[in-house]
Amino acid sequence: MVRAYAYPRLDSAIWSSPEAAPAPDHVLAFNDEAGQVVYVDSRGYPARLDLRSGALTVTRRPKLVGLTSGDGASIYAITDSGSVTRITPTGRWTFKAPLRTRDVLPQSDGSILIVGEKKDGQAVLWHLFPPDSRIIDTVDVPRAAKARRLQAGDRVILVLDSAIAAVRARDLAPLPSAEFKGRILDVAPTPSGDRLYVALVGSPELHVIDRYREGESGKVELPGPVAALRMDPLGRYLLARPLKGDSAWVVALGTQRVIGAVATTWRADLPVVAPDGKLALASGSDVRFVDAETLRPGATVRGGAKDFWHFILWDGFRPRNAALDAPVYFETRDTVRDSATVAARAADTLPPPDLSEVGRVPPAPSSTAQPQPATQPPAGQPTPPVTEMKPRTTGFVVSFATLLSEQGARGEASRLNVDGEQARVVASIVSGRPVYRVVLGPYASRADAERVGKRAAHPYWIFEGMP
């Protein structure tokens, strides 16, 4: 049975599936427009769950491997005959590659990259736009036939034994590579792909690869060697699994520091960083929540470890506004054939525009969950202004937080002041709803922005232009 909760209220479900669903092994993607989750079940079959209707579709034939999805709408896989197949709610598309296929990498623009293997140890990448079967770009990558593939923003990362190669996804142009004095254990890219965190076998250090510096930009010292890395979906924290013991080291990526360790069992779904910055940890049969920055304990869900956990940002469970379905009536007493006259009469009846609303960002849609108390600015401090994002902003901006609550963002901004400059709140629209970023800047150089971020003593990100 699938249940949905309006996080952080985990005491009662707001939605349940009408029938039982196969247990998931891991989630591939979520499509917020269609409200569909695609995942791989415990038997290796791809499944699609519609959160609006509760309909479940499981594909058991043919046998598929290498399952992946970039948007939650299309599922890509490799058949036992070596063909690439795409499964959508409306049908299938199949492509037979010129060589043996090892991987399929869906891209954000709807295209795919297919990784083929040559006998001489080279990997070949083909670029296609399904359902068109024409190969529009191709490139050979030496020594990469057995390499692991990672998607890092608009780049494809090929992880070799002790080196990393990369190509730009849109045109397959090669990018600078990086080599290490040791065998690579794991690589964790940030959501934007701007940084790669590389763990080497037996090493207590994480190597930080910065795409803008085209090489290594620093290291993160850990208490010991690691067994695996797991990235926060929003790029705020990195979880490192120690080589021994059931725990996780929490690394704040804005300051590149190790905050501390938390006890947890490692599973496909847990530990994970929730949207509000809490850590969801598996502890015996329970799930504990801990603040990622302070490691202070929070709520505990008794028996929660028996379930598979996955966080999504979606407002589809909220009731539809009844006003949207109200009928519309038109005045028919006067029949006017001249459309210009109709427009003039309509303009005469419109109220004057309210100029006070210009530049304001509408609030987020109402939620079925109880509203959480917003963080208010400390008494006596001015309320930070909210401005709209200007796409042509130049320079480097220091971003400290991204919140869904305007009041919460104002409260965060009111506590950040560096060299007499007060942080401000910048509003923008992401996935159809407003978000509020707490920022300082812009600054003329990245070095100036880094200096301000460090002086703030708060986790931060540096962006060129607006994030």
Condensed to tens digits (0 to 9), the pLDDT of residues 57-110 reads 999 988 899 999 999 999 999 998 889 999 999 899 999 999 989 999 999 889
pLDDT band at 144 (very low <50, low <70, confident <90, very high): confident
User: Is residue 254, in this structure, part of any structural domain at all?
Assistant: yes
Read off the pLDDT of residues 105-114 as tens digits, 9 standing for 90 and up.
Answer: 999 889 999 9
Contact 25, 38 (CB under 8 A): no
pTM: 0.68
Q: How many residues would you count in the chain?
A: 467
Pairing of strands 278-283, 3-4: unpaired
pLDDT band at 358 (very low <50, low <70, confident <90, very high): very low
User: Is residue 302, in this structure, part of any structural domain at all?
Assistant: yes
- Residues 297, 392, single domain; the answer is no
Helix (H) or strand (E) holding 200: strand 195-200
User: Is residue 134, in this structure, part of any structural domain at all?
Assistant: no
**Residue 207 is part of a domain; what is its CATH number?**
2.130.10.10
Beta bridge mates, 31 = 36
Helix (H) or strand (E) holding 48: strand 46-50
**Domain's final residue, options 294, 316, 338:** 316
User: Is residue 282, in this structure, part of any structural domain at all?
Assistant: yes
pLDDT band at 328 (very low <50, low <70, confident <90, very high): low
**Domain's final residue, options 285, 316, 347:** 316
Domains contained in the chain, number: 2
User: Is residue 238, in this structure, part of any structural domain at all?
Assistant: yes
Range name among 217-231, 267-281, 337-351, 411-425 with the lowest pLDDT average: 337-351
Contact 301, 286 (CB under 8 A): yes
Higher pLDDT, 170 or 241: 241
What are the DSSP E strand ranges found in 222-271? 226-231, 237-242, 247-252, 257-263
- Residues 194, 303, single domain; the answer is yes
pLDDT (0 to 100) of residue 186: 96
- Residues 188, 296, single domain; the answer is yes
* Mean model confidence pLDDT for the chain: 84
Contact 64, 85 (CB under 8 A): yes
Contact 159, 147 (CB under 8 A): yes
Beta bridge mates, 216 = 209
- Residues 196, 310, single domain; the answer is yes
**Residue 439 is part of a domain; what is its CATH number?**
3.30.70.1070
Q: Which domain holds residue 419?
A: 386-464
pLDDT at residue 349 above 60?
no
**Domain's final residue, options 268, 297, 316:** 316
User: Is residue 342, in this structure, part of any structural domain at all?
Assistant: no
